[in-house]
Chains A and B, each alone.
Chain A
Amino acid sequence: MTVKNSLTPLEAQITRIEEMTSIEKLFYLKLIDLNTVKEFHYTPGQFLEVSIPGVGEAPISICDVQREHGRLQLCIRKVGRVTNAIHRLKKGDRLWIRGPYGNGFPMNLMENHDLLLIAGGLGIAPLRSVLQYALLHRNSYGSITVMYGVKCYSMMLFREEFLKLFREGDKLNVKFLLAYEDSDDFQCYQLSCERSDRCMSGLVTKLIESTAITPDNTYAVVCGPPIMYKFVVKELTQRGFTPAQIYMTMERRMKCGVGKCGHCITGSSNSIKYVCKDGPVFTYWDALKTRGLM
């Protein structure tokens, strides 16, 4: 029986692996089937369901901007069955993907606005695609501020890339700020000596407190561990951001990615949301309306 099933995973090859931290690796993938390559478009904030046959599937955000057709990058933390199995793979190995799924960030809507990107830990992965997109279409966006909270230097993702931005971002009108939790971390301390206004010890919220941001004409984009949202949103609303100006991407258990398996359903009877298809990107306004989303 020849049927085309849009939910059947596609074959992809790993063209490169970068070890980023002790638990995170960056995977460069290339789709194998040329026919699907042409149809494969993704926007920042969308995610894939990544399969290892015989082990299972996991939703993973695409962490770069689409440049070449059929190529993409995933930053994956090993935490369980599937992600461990992915981490066992080597360059040249194959895995299977389907997607892209989810709404992604409203890059068009945000055009001609300043961007404030706030990320904690692995949350930088989807935001990196937003950043890359904005840099790729540099003239369509205003100033860009990135606030990134890490545990310590060794847990910082995309280190080289971001250190370059940290030092030379101003040329691109990008302000890159770093907060680190481990106050004894020597390398981070050196960075804070280098630019005390751009790197400080503490949580990511500290960066918001100590930076001048004007909410007018700005969109805030947030991603990080669930507890981070509450504090960040509090800071932002105090600064005058309206709930519609704050975008965030959410995580839930997912088995399908397309609004069928029911695991990511959140809310109360007045507003039910599927994180996979109504999100994973939501505004703070959505979160206010939908019980339990945040």
Chain B
Amino acid sequence: MTETENNLKPRIGVFSLTGCAGDQLMILNLEDTLIELLSKFDIKSFQEASSYSENTNLDIAFVEGSVSTEHDLKTLKNIREKSSLLIAIGDCAVNGCVQAMRNKQTSIAERMIDVYGVEDNIYKTFEPKGVGEYVKVDFEIPGCPIEKEEALNALISLLNGDAPLIPDYPVCVECKLNGYPCVIIEEGKPCLGPIITAGCDARCPGLGLDCVGCRGPIKGETNAKAELEALRKRGYADKYIINRLRFFAGNFDDIQILGVKENSKGDK
């Protein structure tokens, strides 16, 4: 491949902050198209897949992982500075994911004691947040992990010069499109589908399970109170529901509020 050909390709980097690296892995899981796909980009950095890395300006930076340490934040700011587009991939980068579930509920010191037996914040860790809390994000691809088809379509859109299409409707829609029996209605299971961003093709209800919310609540459209009510009505305890709502939404204000209120109720 000649230099000029390479010059026309979008220069990309795939970076990861604090998380499980599952979103990079999902890209590597696109086995059928991986070689063709990667050959369409000029890859400047892909930590999990390659030793080759260049600290250069990028057309597109894909960032997975949450911002949890000063090191993360420094890396992120550096990436933002040198990239024209920054795309958050995966729930960690979008919402902070499960590691954010206790935000504003337990302190870092409490967590340090629980896990390491020391209180000092050795790692300079702070409450995990999505990258959008700190820098401008151009697009978000949600999911824990991202759906590989969705990621592929987003990459194709970007190659074609278009904005990626990401659903902003709830899992219930896909559940219905597939004709899956509704697990809330049929079995009273505590499904979070009504408030969670679709795009997974309703994997959990398709397996007869209640959605745990891994694609995160729909921004600006989540009726957390209604979910609390709907599950209460089906006999679930507040502690159970609120824990569950927090799994992938520790950073959502309206869900944090539920938590705080219930805690204080419990204190009495």
- List A residues at the B interface (Cβ < 8 Å): 54-55, 80-81, 84-85, 88
B160 in the interface (beta carbon within 8 A): yes
Task: Let me know if A84 and B160 touch, CB within 8 A.
Answer: no
| Chain A residues within an 8 Å CB radius of B161 | 84-85, 88
Residue in A55, A80, A85 whose Cβ sees the most chain B Cβ within 10 Å: A55
| Chain B residues within an 8 Å CB radius of A85 | 160-162
Cα distance A80–B165 when bound, in Å?
11
Looking at the assembled complex, report how far the CB atom of A198 sits from the nearest CB atom of chain B, in whole angstroms. 41
Task: Let me know if A54 and B163 touch, CB within 8 A.
Answer: no
CB pairs A–B below 8 angstroms (14 shown): A54-B160, A55-B160, A55-B162, A80-B163, A81-B162, A81-B163, A81-B165, A84-B161, A84-B162, A84-B163, A85-B160, A85-B161, A85-B162, A88-B161
Looking at the assembled complex, report how far the CB atom of B161 sits from the nearest CB atom of chain A, in whole angstroms. 6
- State the main secondary structure of chain A at its contact with B: helix
Closest B residue by C-beta to A55 = B162
| Chain B residues within an 8 Å CB radius of A84 | 161-163
- State the main secondary structure of chain B at its contact with A: loop
Looking at the assembled complex, report how far the CB atom of A95 sits from the nearest CB atom of chain B, in whole angstroms. 15
| Chain A residues within an 8 Å CB radius of B162 | 55, 81, 84-85
| Chain A residues within an 8 Å CB radius of B163 | 80-81, 84
Looking at the assembled complex, report how far the CB atom of A90 sits from the nearest CB atom of chain B, in whole angstroms. 14
Residue in B160, B162, B163, B165 whose Cβ sees the most chain A Cβ within 10 Å: B162
| Chain A residues within an 8 Å CB radius of B160 | 54-55, 85
Residues facing A in B27-85 (CB within 8 A) are none
Cα distance A54–B163 when bound, in Å?
12
Cα distance A156–B165 when bound, in Å?
32
Looking at the assembled complex, report how far the CB atom of A138 sits from the nearest CB atom of chain B, in whole angstroms. 44
Cα distance A53–B160 when bound, in Å?
11
12 extra A-B contacts, CB within 8 A, seeds A81-B165, A85-B161: A54-B160, A55-B160, A55-B162, A80-B163, A81-B162, A81-B163, A84-B161, A84-B162, A84-B163, A85-B160, A85-B162, A88-B161
Looking at the assembled complex, report how far the CB atom of A51 sits from the nearest CB atom of chain B, in whole angstroms. 14
Please name the 9 residue pairs, one residue from A and one from B, whose CB atoms are nearest each other, closest first: A81-B162, A81-B163, A55-B162, A88-B161, A85-B162, A54-B160, A85-B161, A55-B160, A84-B162
Cα distance A54–B162 when bound, in Å?
10
Cα distance A88–B161 when bound, in Å?
9
Cα distance A54–B157 when bound, in Å?
9
Cα distance A37–B59 when bound, in Å?
43
Residues facing A in B124-165 (CB within 8 A) are 160-163, 165
Looking at the assembled complex, report how far the CB atom of A220 sits from the nearest CB atom of chain B, in whole angstroms. 38
| Chain B residues within an 8 Å CB radius of A88 | 161
| Chain B residues within an 8 Å CB radius of A55 | 160, 162
Looking at the assembled complex, report how far the CB atom of B72 sits from the nearest CB atom of chain A, in whole angstroms. 32
